[in-house]
Structure 1
Amino acid sequence: MNAQGVETMDSPPADPKRRRVLIAATSALGAVGVGFVAVPFISSMNPSAKARAAGAPVMADVSKLEPGALLRVKYRGQPIWVVNRTDEMLAALPTMDPKLVDPASEVPQQPEYCQNPTRSINQSKYFVAIGICTHLGCAPTYRPEFAPDDLGKDWKGGWFCPCHGSKFDLAGRVFKGVPAPTNLVIPKHKYVNENTILVGEDEGAA
């Protein structure tokens, strides 16, 4: 009976072993709960698959690219052109120099290994460029034909931008008297083998 005259029943003596088991079980459940909360938070700190892919180099398989044809791939959200230039196309490039703003590619719109008459690695027949006009970012149209009626008898292949009339030759060099101020940009790239070009990485990459 307690001080107020109410009859009470004493609690049974605590079992130390049982108490340890209960504490351990409670702690384990608490840790699991924290784990479930922490996983989404930790995962949110990792870059998404899309973000990782955005800057990853891309492969361009040119094994089936016909002479004169253009292959399109995407790198960092930008269109990349790969053109298999014919011997006739390559032979025409030097004849275009007087019509161009920067025929020697002195403005750094390309890696050093592409600062040559063809603007390609080892002056290869394959030309790699970012398919965006250097004026206002439009997408130029590939016009590989020689002397079409709408571009004139002096046209020897290249790109024509329908937005504002800028023109580029088959080495991506800009014509005089058009809105675009500079040549097309050439991304860093390298050959993995004779049929595969890796865009976004070159021999100087770490």
Structure 2
Amino acid sequence: MDDTRTGKVSALRRRFLSTAVATMGAAGVAATAIPFVRSWQPSARARAAGAPIEIGLDAIAPGQQVLVTWRRKPVWVLRRTPEMLRRLRSAELEARLRDPDSEKDQQPEYAGNELRSIRPDILVVVAICTHLGCIPNFHPETGKTRFDSRWPGGYFCHCHGSKFDFAGRVFKNVPAPLNLVIPPYRFTEKSTVIVGEDPVA
């Protein structure tokens, strides 16, 4: 084999090896960089801990509610009926409530009204009793029940007997000292609510 041909073969080998080494190096850098860049982003657990929750309202029939989890807390979204709203505004019910005007700041300012909501028909409330943290049960029926002789409908905590109306307002003479908490929330459009974000100013 002459020197010219040997030189050409050696040059091709060097070029091939240089290209292969460069390609492998670039792949190694990419493989290292991707996890590094991902480490800057919040983890799925961190996003779940505080991320807003979007709920479609079209699937909630009048008089029904859904349960979602936000910041590891149960949250109810209730679509109130005209009859529920009528009962909430009755003087008889108001006389039975500990804090009918929600003066204890258990809700954002934009929900600081008798219905404790932005829209009259939609209640968004944290489903945790303000006594010892149990989850009350939804009791939309009215009249005589085993826990109230003239029940107007609302929420009853079976742990210790606390009662709340369809606005999350606490009754008098029960263990719970405060109304249920209203979380931050906003409507993006007529059929969607986002729990965990205040309304856009």
Identify which of 86, 96, 101 aligns with 2:98: 101
Counterpart amino acid of residue 116 in structure 2: R
C-alpha separation in 1, matches of 2:148 and 2:176? 19
* TM-score normalised to structure 2 length: 0.79
Deviations 1:122-179 (A, max 9, x none): 4x11111011111111111000100142133321111111111111011100111111
Confirm or deny: 8 A CA contact 1:81 1:129 kept in the other structure: yes
Shift in Å, 1:34:
7.3
Tell me by how many angstroms 1:37 deviates.
5.7
Per-residue CA deviation, residues 31-65 of structure 1 (Å, 9 max, x unaligned), is: 97677666645544532123123222111111131
Residues 187 and 199, structure 2, Cα contact 8 Å, conserved in 1: no
1:164-179 correspondence to structure 2 within 5 Å:
164-179=160-175
Aligned counterpart for 2:159 among listed residues 150, 157, 163: 163
CA distance in 2, matches of 1:37, 1:169: 56
Q: Give the partner amino acid of 1:156.
A: P
Pairwise CA distance, 1:82: 0.9
Once residues 107 and 146 of structure 1 are traced to their aligned partners in structure 2, the CA distance between those partners, rounded to angstroms, is 27
Q: Over the residues paired in the alignment, what is the CA RMSD in angstroms?
A: 2.8
Q: Does 1:54 align with 2:49?
A: yes
Secondary structure in 1 aligned to 2:110?
Answer: helix
Mapped to 2, the partners of 1:180 and 1:92 lie a distance apart of: 21
Matched residue type, 2:153 = G
TM-score, L = length of structure 1: 0.78
Tell whether 2:137 aligns with 1:141.
yes
Q: 1:93-117, CA deviations, whole angstroms, 9 ceiling, x for partnerless residues?
A: 1431111110000111001111111
Query: Aligned residue for 1:191?
Result: 187
1:127 maps to what in 2? 123
Partner-residue secondary structure (3-state), 2:153: strand
Equivalent residue letter for 1:72:
L
Give the structure with higher Rg (CA): 1
Aligned pair 1:110/2:120, yes or no? no
Change (3 A) 1:99 1:31: same
Q: Which stretches in structure 2 are left out of the alignment for 5+ residues? A: 1-16
% same residue: 50
